Chain A
Amino acid sequence: MLLNQFLFLAAVLFCIGVYGVLARRNAVLVLASIELMLNAVNINLVAFGAYRHNIAGQVFALFVIAIAAAEVGVGLAIVVLIFRNRASIALDEADLMKG
């Protein structure tokens, strides 16, 4: 297996995630796109860990997963709060900082 195929896969997933972050209106879907990006990063890490026969790739990926989970928790709490205050989670309507 070529290393590059994993890396390309990760790159493509990352960029799809980028598109999702930039283009989606729903805040929950933005968070989902962020998850996509994080997974792409994980794939990268694990691929390199396997290539270098280093356990660090895996360990790092584990940490990323832990952090991603924490982040999703907090992020969704915020989204729920926004929804509670504004009755809508369309991000392009949250332009209070418009200036």
Chain B
Amino acid sequence: MFFLKNAWLIPAIPGACFFLILFFGKRTPGKGAPIGIAGIGLSFLLALGGALKWISWGADRHPVDRHVTWFKLGGITVTAGTHIDGLALMMLFVVTFVSLMVHVYSLGYMHGDRRYTYYYAALSLFTASMLTLIVAPNTLQLMVGWELVGVCSFMLIGHWWEEEVNSAAAIKAFITTRTGDVGLMLGIITLFFAARQTFDIETLNRLAINGQISHGLLLAGALLLLLGVIGKSAQFPLHVWLPDAMAGPTPVSALIHAATMVVAGVYLVARVYGVFITGLSIGPLGNGINALALIGGLTVIIGAALAFVQDDVKRVLAYSTISQLGYMVMALGVGAWTAGIFHLFTHAFFKALLFLGSGALIHSVHSNNMSDMGGLRKKMPTTFWTFIVGSAALAGLFPLAGFWSKDEILLGADKGGYPLFLWIGVIGAFMTAAYMTRACYMIFWGEYRGEGHPHEAPPSMAWPMRLLAIGAVGAGWLSAFGIHDFPTWVHFDVAGVTHEVVHEYAFSLPLATISLAIALIGIGVAYGYYFANKGPHGLTKRNALAHAGYHFLEEKYFLDKLYINGIIRKIQYPIARGMYWFDQHIIDGFVNGVAFVSRKVSGFVYDVIDQKVVDGAVNGAGFTAEESGGLLRYIQTGRVQQYAAVLFGAAALFGLILVLTTA
């Protein structure tokens, strides 16, 4: 119980490490990295302990809450604390594990970097923020964590900000997710009022499921929150930041943009699921389509399509991430809550593994592009095998992790009454398998096309990859046929609600077989096209339509162009021009006018007032003094008798006056 009650330590320790590394890191041997690794290692052990306790607790396990009062505002008390249940523990485990792997990996990858200490500080801060988000019992603390991970993502993407492309990517990421955050904030406020003035998530869910909130309000809240999810979890149409975010260091991409930050949106939906399920009418009562599933489904296809035309290995993985996030959101959209979460769980392992593997490749080849690689399977065996395992898991091959989780999503779509999304999922699986085969072929087979001598990754980089590979292999078995461990531990329920909100479906062998077959077909097609060189090679050069299609994909559906030229420039430039006009004419005119008036006034003051009036007065005073002096001089003759005459005369006069007045 210690681990569950004191789960607040799990975010607190990396948070403390952030400050320690920031202030003392440079002076310690190892430049702050040992502090960060120790901190995250400790958090991982605590999370592991919590998970084990949860697992061993048995059937009467229930969520554990700890609160402290954060602030009081006009009758509302907002608390901060932890809400630990299966979902939170699973996320804590995943985040701390992947973060630990990335910390260790960075020892080798970021060795000798120009800002090594700040990198580790930012990693610690990011981990702490993500963990805060996960354990949040109310939407306000969740938002704090949300914003903080956004800031850390900005910091880490722009780690090498001296090159403009990196800082531009960081800004793009931040601004795009910020655009979504408008929806998030509005959604939180709407739901605050809907839940009768509380931010607490449990209360919100209970009120929503029990039908005590009006449907319109829930729909509005769900759609607004969805906007935040679209931004943060790189759904269409705000997915454009994630490929550019690959400008950051590869461990950062592994941690933030594969396993943790981007799933914050999915986590939000999973947490506040009561709102979504009632607001968007998800589930058997739905009408076969809703906003959440639609967005997710679109993202699956769009991301997968773009992964085909990338040369940069990290961009392939980025679009793959977008696509897989689409799967998770789609799963939540069709009511397959546990399936979506399970896919989040497994995806974290193999996507992080793939990113770390790509980092090893980049580190040894000194280039991101797959056209500079090739034939590396002999030269980099560990990287090769772990990358293949990761790719297979991603493609959904039995018995690796991806197979089980993707299969559950398809099952949920099928049984939940969403046939459209079942088809989308199947097509997505096909495309996933195909583009990963393409990528593997270009990297590991054929002739080496690059320069220099590629070498295997050092142990600090190799061991995290191996450990993640184990996870990629074994994680899926927690929810395999006959094994219901994962759903038992992690499922959606709300205190005070007795009826089953989300349905779990039993494993369906036919569907599983079909999905495996689809994946194998995908691999086969790609194999034929790339390995065996069959198929219509050079089509895009010969056929104008194909070429146009390829160009369309290459330009990422012209979305970037649309956003920049169509929206940003159309809004930004007129405003900038207007401001410039205002500045030149009105402000400058005002300033010039003031200057002109002051000059005229001062000229007037000088000419008239100073020269004539003041000088005139001064001169006049002097003239008067002189003249009166000249006049008075006549009195002072120096002759005593004259003085005496005046004296006697005055005395006589006074005497007369005295006599006259008193007589």
Contacts and interface: CB of A to CB of B under 8 A. Distances in A.
- State yes or no: do A and B touch (Cβ within 8 Å): yes
B638 A97 contact: yes
B645 A22 contact: yes
A95 B648 contact: no
A98 B645 contact: no
B476 to A, nearest CB: 123
Interface string A16-33: 001001111000001000
B636 A21 contact: no
B542 interface: no
Contacts of B645: 22
Interface string B432-448: 00000000000000000
Nearest to B640: A91
A94 B640 contact: yes
B16 to A, nearest CB: 94
B233 to A, nearest CB: 104
Nearest to A96: B638
A23 B640 CA distance: 11
A22 B652 CA distance: 14
Contacts of A91: 639-641
A73 interface: no
Interface size class of B (residues with CB under 8 A): 10 to 19
Contacts of A92: 639, 641
B636 A98 contact: yes
B644 interface: yes
Contact of A99 (B636, B644, B648): B636
Contacts of B633: 99
Interface string A27-70: 00010000000000000000000000000000000000000000
A92 B639 CA distance: 6
A96 B633 CA distance: 13
Chain B binding surface SS class: helix
Contacts of B636: 97-99
Most B CB contacts (10 A, CB to CB) among A23, A30, A96, A98 go to A98
Interface string B639-663: 1110011001000000000000000
Contacts of A96: 638
Nearest to A92: B639
A22 B644 contact: yes
Interface string A78-99: 0000000000000110111111
Contact of B641 (A21, A97, A98, A99): A21
B637 A98 contact: yes
Interface residues of A, number: 14
Which of B636, B641, B645 has the most CB atoms of chain A within a 10 A radius of its CB? B641
A23 to B, nearest CB: 8
A95 B644 contact: no
A21 B638 contact: no
A26 B637 CA distance: 17
Nearest to A23: B641
Contacts of B639: 91-92, 94-95, 98
Nearest to A98: B638
Nearest to A99: B636
Interface in B214-230: none
A30 B636 CA distance: 20
B130 to A, nearest CB: 100
Nearest to B645: A22
Contacts of B637: 95, 98
B638 A18 contact: no
B652 to A, nearest CB: 9
A94 B640 CA distance: 8
A51 B595 CA distance: 92
A34 to B, nearest CB: 10
A22 B648 CA distance: 9
Contact of B644 (A21, A97, A98): A21
A41 to B, nearest CB: 15
Contacts of A94: 638-640
Nearest to A24: B641
A23 B644 CA distance: 10
Nearest to A21: B644
B640 A99 contact: no
A91 B633 CA distance: 19
B247 to A, nearest CB: 97
A67 B91 CA distance: 127
A95 B648 CA distance: 20
Contacts of B640: 91, 94
B648 A18 contact: yes
Interface of A: 18, 21-24, 30, 91-92, 94-99
25 contacts: A18-B648, A21-B641, A21-B644, A21-B648, A22-B641, A22-B645, A22-B648, A23-B641, A30-B641, A91-B639, A92-B639, A92-B641, A94-B638, A94-B640, A95-B637, A95-B638, A95-B639, A97-B636, A98-B636, A98-B637, A98-B638, A98-B639, A99-B633, A99-B636, A99-B638
The 5 A-B pairs with the shortest beta carbon distances in the complex, nearest first, are A95-B638, A98-B638, A97-B638, A22-B645, A99-B636
Given A95-B637, A95-B638, A98-B636, 6 more contacts: A18-B648, A22-B644, A30-B641, A91-B641, A92-B641, A94-B638
